[in-house]
Protein backbone atom coordinates (compact mmCIF):
# COMPACT_ATOMS: atom_id res chain seq x y z
CA UNK A 1 0.00 0.00 0.00
CA UNK A 2 1.27 3.47 -0.83
CA UNK A 3 2.02 5.84 2.03
CA UNK A 4 -0.81 8.16 0.92
CA UNK A 5 -3.42 5.40 1.39
CA UNK A 6 -1.85 4.38 4.67
CA UNK A 7 -2.08 7.99 5.88
CA UNK A 8 -5.86 7.84 5.40
CA UNK A 9 -5.99 4.65 7.46
CA UNK A 10 -3.91 6.23 10.22
CA UNK A 11 -6.20 9.28 10.28
CA UNK A 12 -9.21 6.99 10.58
CA UNK A 13 -7.66 5.17 13.56
CA UNK A 14 -6.72 8.48 15.24
CA UNK A 15 -10.36 9.60 14.95
CA UNK A 16 -11.71 6.54 16.84
CA UNK A 17 -12.28 8.49 20.04
CA UNK A 18 -14.19 5.59 21.57
CA UNK A 19 -10.87 3.71 21.83
CA UNK A 20 -8.13 4.50 24.35
CA UNK A 21 -4.99 6.17 23.02
CA UNK A 22 -3.07 2.95 23.67
CA UNK A 23 -5.53 0.86 21.65
CA UNK A 24 -5.36 3.36 18.81
CA UNK A 25 -1.56 3.16 18.87
CA UNK A 26 -1.77 -0.63 18.68
CA UNK A 27 -4.10 -0.35 15.69
CA UNK A 28 -1.64 2.02 14.01
CA UNK A 29 1.17 -0.50 14.62
CA UNK A 30 -1.01 -3.22 13.04
CA UNK A 31 -1.90 -1.06 10.05
CA UNK A 32 1.73 -0.19 9.38
CA UNK A 33 2.96 -3.75 9.79
CA UNK A 34 0.22 -5.16 7.56
CA UNK A 35 0.67 -2.57 4.81
CA UNK A 36 4.43 -2.29 4.45
CA UNK A 37 6.11 -5.65 3.78
CA UNK A 38 9.44 -4.64 5.30
CA UNK A 39 7.91 -3.33 8.56
CA UNK A 40 8.17 -6.56 10.58
CA UNK A 41 8.08 -5.23 14.17
CA UNK A 42 6.41 -1.92 14.94
CA UNK A 43 6.22 -0.38 18.39
CA UNK A 44 6.05 2.82 20.42
CA UNK A 45 8.33 3.55 23.37
CA UNK A 46 7.51 6.40 25.77
CA UNK A 47 10.19 8.28 27.68
CA UNK A 48 10.32 8.73 31.44
CA UNK A 49 12.62 11.72 31.86
CA UNK A 50 12.90 11.30 35.65
CA UNK A 51 14.26 7.76 35.45
CA UNK A 52 15.92 8.34 32.04
CA UNK A 53 14.31 5.22 30.62
CA UNK A 54 12.16 4.28 27.64
CA UNK A 55 9.09 2.11 28.22
CA UNK A 56 7.44 -0.05 25.58
CA UNK A 57 3.86 1.24 25.33
CA UNK A 58 2.58 -1.10 22.62
CA UNK A 59 3.85 -3.11 19.65
CA UNK A 60 3.06 -5.75 17.07
CA UNK A 61 5.51 -8.43 16.01
CA UNK A 62 7.72 -10.92 17.79
CA UNK A 63 7.57 -10.47 21.58
CA UNK A 64 10.62 -8.66 22.98
CA UNK A 65 12.37 -8.71 26.37
CA UNK A 66 13.27 -5.05 25.95
CA UNK A 67 10.32 -3.46 27.69
CA UNK A 68 12.50 -0.88 29.46
CA UNK A 69 15.56 0.66 27.79
CA UNK A 70 17.88 3.15 29.54
CA UNK A 71 18.54 6.42 27.70
CA UNK A 72 21.75 6.04 25.69
CA UNK A 73 21.48 2.28 25.27
CA UNK A 74 20.79 0.73 21.88
CA UNK A 75 19.40 2.54 18.86
CA UNK A 76 16.28 3.55 20.82
CA UNK A 77 18.22 4.85 23.80
CA UNK A 78 20.48 6.90 21.54
CA UNK A 79 17.46 8.57 19.90
CA UNK A 80 16.10 9.45 23.37
CA UNK A 81 19.29 11.50 23.82
CA UNK A 82 19.98 12.80 20.29
CA UNK A 83 16.37 13.81 19.42
CA UNK A 84 17.17 12.78 15.85
CA UNK A 85 15.98 10.13 13.44
CA UNK A 86 18.19 7.05 13.42
CA UNK A 87 18.17 4.81 10.35
CA UNK A 88 20.24 1.64 10.57
CA UNK A 89 20.52 -0.09 7.17
CA UNK A 90 22.44 -3.03 8.68
CA UNK A 91 22.26 -3.71 12.42
CA UNK A 92 25.50 -5.74 12.36
CA UNK A 93 27.36 -2.48 11.72
CA UNK A 94 26.25 -1.01 15.09
CA UNK A 95 28.15 -1.49 18.35
CA UNK A 96 25.51 0.19 20.53
CA UNK A 97 22.63 -2.02 19.46
CA UNK A 98 20.18 -4.19 21.43
CA UNK A 99 19.27 -7.30 19.45
CA UNK A 100 15.57 -8.13 19.58
CA UNK A 101 15.40 -11.10 17.24
CA UNK A 102 17.72 -13.15 15.08
CA UNK A 103 15.80 -12.23 11.92
CA UNK A 104 16.17 -8.47 12.37
CA UNK A 105 18.51 -6.92 9.81
CA UNK A 106 17.72 -3.20 9.93
CA UNK A 107 15.93 -0.66 12.09
CA UNK A 108 14.46 2.84 11.98
CA UNK A 109 13.65 4.98 15.01
CA UNK A 110 11.87 8.33 14.73
CA UNK A 111 11.43 10.54 17.81
CA UNK A 112 8.02 11.68 18.98
CA UNK A 113 7.81 15.35 19.99
CA UNK A 114 5.10 16.97 22.08
CA UNK A 115 5.42 20.72 22.65
CA UNK A 116 9.01 20.48 21.44
CA UNK A 117 9.95 17.76 23.96
CA UNK A 118 11.13 14.29 22.93
CA UNK A 119 8.54 12.11 24.70
CA UNK A 120 9.13 8.82 22.94
CA UNK A 121 9.55 7.22 19.57
CA UNK A 122 8.26 4.87 16.96
CA UNK A 123 10.61 1.93 16.44
CA UNK A 124 10.50 -0.38 13.42
CA UNK A 125 12.58 -3.51 12.87
CA UNK A 126 12.90 -5.07 9.45
CA UNK A 127 13.95 -8.53 8.36
CA UNK A 128 15.21 -6.92 5.12
CA UNK A 129 18.62 -5.37 4.64
CA UNK A 130 18.67 -1.62 3.96
CA UNK A 131 14.94 -1.17 3.12
CA UNK A 132 14.34 2.32 4.58
CA UNK A 133 14.39 5.50 2.49
CA UNK A 134 13.82 9.19 3.16
CA UNK A 135 10.16 8.49 2.35
CA UNK A 136 9.90 6.21 5.39
CA UNK A 137 11.44 8.90 7.59
CA UNK A 138 8.99 11.53 6.31
CA UNK A 139 6.01 9.18 6.62
CA UNK A 140 6.89 8.04 10.16
CA UNK A 141 7.50 11.62 11.33
CA UNK A 142 4.04 12.39 9.98
CA UNK A 143 2.58 9.39 11.89
CA UNK A 144 4.18 10.70 15.09
CA UNK A 145 2.67 14.15 14.52
CA UNK A 146 -0.79 12.53 14.37
CA UNK A 147 -0.07 10.36 17.41
CA UNK A 148 0.84 13.29 19.68
CA UNK A 149 -2.58 14.80 19.10
CA UNK A 150 -4.13 11.94 21.13
CA UNK A 151 -1.51 11.83 23.92
N1 LIG B 1 16.96 -2.77 18.67
C2 LIG B 1 16.54 -1.76 19.62
C3 LIG B 1 15.87 -2.37 20.82
C4 LIG B 1 14.40 -2.44 20.72
S5 LIG B 1 13.88 -3.69 19.73
O6 LIG B 1 14.23 -3.32 18.33
C7 LIG B 1 12.27 -3.95 19.85
C8 LIG B 1 17.72 -0.92 20.04
O9 LIG B 1 18.86 -1.22 19.70
O10 LIG B 1 17.50 0.05 20.76
pLDDT in tens, 51-77: 999 999 999 999 999 999 999 999 999
Class (C level, CATH) for 3-150: alpha beta
The ligand 1 atom nearest the CA atom of 59? 7
pLDDT in tens, 83-132: 999 999 999 999 999 998 889 999 999 999 999 999 999 999 999 999 99
> Which parts of 74-133 fold into alpha helices (H)?
74-82
Residue 75 CB less than 6 A away from ligand 1: yes
Domain boundaries of the chain, sorted by first residue: 3-150
HSE-up of residue 145 (Cα within 13 Å, Cβ side)? 7
CB-CB contact of 90 with 130 (8 Å): yes
- What pLDDT sits at residue 29? 98
Residue nearest to atom 7 of ligand 1 (CA): 100
pLDDT in tens, 6-15: 999 999 999 9
Residue 88 CB less than 6 A away from ligand 1: no
Amino acid sequence: MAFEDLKKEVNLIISKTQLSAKNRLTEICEALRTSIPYYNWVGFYFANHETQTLHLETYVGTPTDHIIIPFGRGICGQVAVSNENFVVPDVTSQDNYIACGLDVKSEIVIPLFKDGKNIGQIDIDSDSLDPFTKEDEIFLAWVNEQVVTIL
